[in-house]
Every structure is written in structure tokens, then in C-alpha cells.
Amino acid sequence: MDLKLKNKTVFVTGASRGIGEATARFLAMEGCNIFVGYHTGFDSAENIAMDIRRMGRKAWLVKMNMADENEVNIGVREIIEIAGSLDILVLNAGHNILTPFENLKNEEWDEIIRINLSGPFYIINALKNHFNEGSSVILVSSVAGHTGAPHHVHYAAAKAGMINLTRSLAKAMAPRTRVNCVAPGLTRTDMGEKTMAVLTDNYVKEKLLAQRMADPHEIGALIAFLASPVSGFIYGETININGGRDFR
Ligand SMILES: NC(=O)c1ccc[n+]([C@@H]2O[C@H](COP(=O)([O-])OP(=O)(O)OC[C@H]3O[C@@H](n4cnc5c(N)ncnc54)[C@H](OP(=O)(O)O)[C@@H]3O)[C@@H](O)[C@H]2O)c1
């Protein structure tokens, strides 16, 4: 299927590894030019950008800590200076700290909410006047945003917030920009492997109909579909991609 994404300008946050990296590579293969967002992973982000350039596309690095409004504004300014406007924004960067509720401190709550919920808002607020006609924004939430989770109460609350932020932004930004969300389940990335460590031994076999973790490329492919005009009648949705962990 031709996703009709040639020469689109894309910013993927958290593209230095995991789901963000897979998404950036997928979109580059579809013909997009990519702003590769990263926080601490400069070397990895640089390698990914070089691979994208070898495909004949343009790629630039954008460093920002999602939790820092000032850094977000500087990064967004760089993007606008280079590209002028955006076609696709993937709000993928995220962070989790696995702390049982009984030990959770307010500071940790604030940090996780800032990175996972405030950060995406800071970015979209800074970019809101710079989206092209027919543009697309995709937020990356989590199955935890539907189910809740005792070992990451803060993260699950932030991810639930992203689902409703998606609906509000979809209404506020239509029809020029479509806003949608994906809610992945356990995915084979650094974050997914850390989450596995607090789950029961048989979790994958007992709870996932797929009986396996997702490959990050499966999530990237869904994000690319939502970014594409091929999905042009989908607005404000959160699409679950969780191997049958939870139905909505
Ligand atoms: N893996 C799963 O099982 C799973 C399940 C459901 C949802 N998700 C969601 O999917 C998204 C991607 O997760 P992943 O599994 O690919 O995670 P990951 O492998 O841990 O990668 C996280 C990415 O986010 C970036 N990042 C982390 N903190 C940041 C901050 N403060 N500011 C800017 N960037 C930051 C990292 O950048 P640097 O490396 O450059 O620091 C990295 O590129 C996240 O939103 C996550 O919540 C993941």
C-alpha cells in the first residue's frame, strides 16, 4: 500500500531508540524527512540520522528534555527555522519509573507527569501554528492508560491523560490537522524489558493472546498508517495494539 508520505516533514520525539527509532526508520522508508528527537542518546540518534540520510532523505537531530518547557521551546524553534512547518508529529518520548504505590513520592509523580503528559502538551502548544494542511499528530499512550497499574500509578495516570488530550486536540485542531493516539502493550524495548521484570513469570503466556511481546516495528507501522492520508477519516481515536491484553 502506498501511504502517500513522500517528502513529508516529520518530528518524532524519543527517536533515539525503541518505538521512536522504529517509527522514524519506517517513515523514512516511506519517503519522509525526519527530525530525530533525543534526550540523552546523542550517539544513537546520530547513527539513526546517518542511516536515514543514506536512504536519500534529510535528517536532523533535535535535543530536548520533554519535562523542560524552555528546552522544548528551543528545540521547536530550531525545527521551524529549518523546515518552516511540519506535516507529521509523533509524540512518542516517554519515561517510566516502576515504583509500587506504597513507596511513591510526590516528586516522582511530578516528574513522570511532566515527561509523559506536560511534555507532549508543551511541544504541541509551541508547534500549533506551524502545521500544514492535511497534517497529522500521533500520541503514544499505553495499555496502562486504560487498565491502570499498581507499580506505576503516575505513568498510568499520565498515559490516561494522553488519551483524553488526544480527543480534545482532535476537536481543537480539525480539520487542518488530525490527532490520534496509539496505546501499545508490552513491546520489546528498554522500557518493555524493564516492565517485564515486575510482572509475573507467566504474564506473557497467561495475559497476552499473542503470547509474545510486540516488536517496535509493529507499533511504528501503525503510527505510520495513522500519519498517512490513507487513514484520513480517523479523528481523535486511540488505537490499541496490545496483543490482546485488553479490549475497548
Ligand atoms: N515498551 C513498552 O512496553 C511500551 C508499552 C506501552 C507504551 N510505551 C510507550 O511508548 C513510548 C516509547 O517507549 P519505548 O519502549 O520505545 O521506550 P525506551 O526504549 O525507553 O525509549 C524512550 C525514548 O524516549 C526518550 N526520552 C525518555 N525520557 C525523555 C525526556 N525526559 N525527554 C525527552 N526524551 C525522553 C528517550 O531518549 P534518550 O534515549 O535520547 O534519552 C528514548 O528515545 C513511550 O511513550 C512509552 O511510554 C512503551
* Segment 37-48, tens digit of pLDDT: 999 999 999 999
In this prediction, residues 70-81 reach a mean pLDDT of: 98
In this prediction, residues 103-124 reach a mean pLDDT of: 98
pTM of this structure: 0.98
pLDDT score of 199 more than 90: no
Domain residue limits, the chain: 9-241
Catalytic residue among 122, 155, 203, 235: 155
pLDDT of residue 198: 84
**55: Cα within 13 Å, side-chain hemisphere:** 22
Q: Give, for ligand 1, the residue of 189, 199, 204 to mutate: max count of ligand atoms closer than 8 Å to Cβ.
A: 189
pLDDT score of 197 more than 90: no
Non-local (6+) Cβ contacts of 70 within 8 A are: none
* Segment 116-157, tens digit of pLDDT: 999 999 999 999 999 999 999 999 999 999 999 999 999 999
**122 catalytic, yes or no?**
no
In this prediction, residues 226-235 reach a mean pLDDT of: 98
Task: Evaluate: CB of 65 within 6 angstroms of ligand 1.
Answer: yes
Q: How far is the CA of 168 from the centre of ligand 1 (A)?
A: 23
- Burial category of 125 from C-beta neighbours within 10 Å (exposed 0-12, middle 13-18, buried 19 and up): middle
Peptide bond preceding 184: is omega within 30 degrees of 0, i.e. cis?
no
Nearest to 3 by CA among 29, 24, 21, 25: 29
pLDDT of residue 79: 98
CA–CA separation, 144 and 146 (whole Å): 5
Task: Evaluate: CB of 16 within 6 angstroms of ligand 1.
Answer: yes
Task: Evaluate: CB of 189 within 6 angstroms of ligand 1.
Answer: yes
For the chain, counts of helices (H) and of strands (E): 10, 7
Contact yes or no for 138/181 (Cβ under 8 A): yes
pLDDT of residue 248: 83
Q: Alpha helices of 55-129 — where are they, by DSSP H?
A: 69-83, 106-113, 119-127
pLDDT of residue 201: 79
- Mean per-residue pLDDT of the chain: 97
Q: How far is the CA of 20 from the centre of ligand 1 (A)?
A: 7
Contacts of 60-63 with CB under 8 Å at 24 or more apart are 60/34, 60/35, 60/36, 61/35, 61/36, 62/11, 62/35, 62/36, 62/37, 62/38, 63/37, 63/38, 63/39
Report the CATH number of the 9-241 domain: 3.40.50.720
Grid coordinates representing 201? 513469570
Non-local (6+) Cβ contacts of 202 within 8 A are: none
- C-beta neighbour count of 242 within 10 angstroms: 24
Grid coordinates representing 52? 536515514
CA–CA separation, 18 and 215 (whole Å): 9
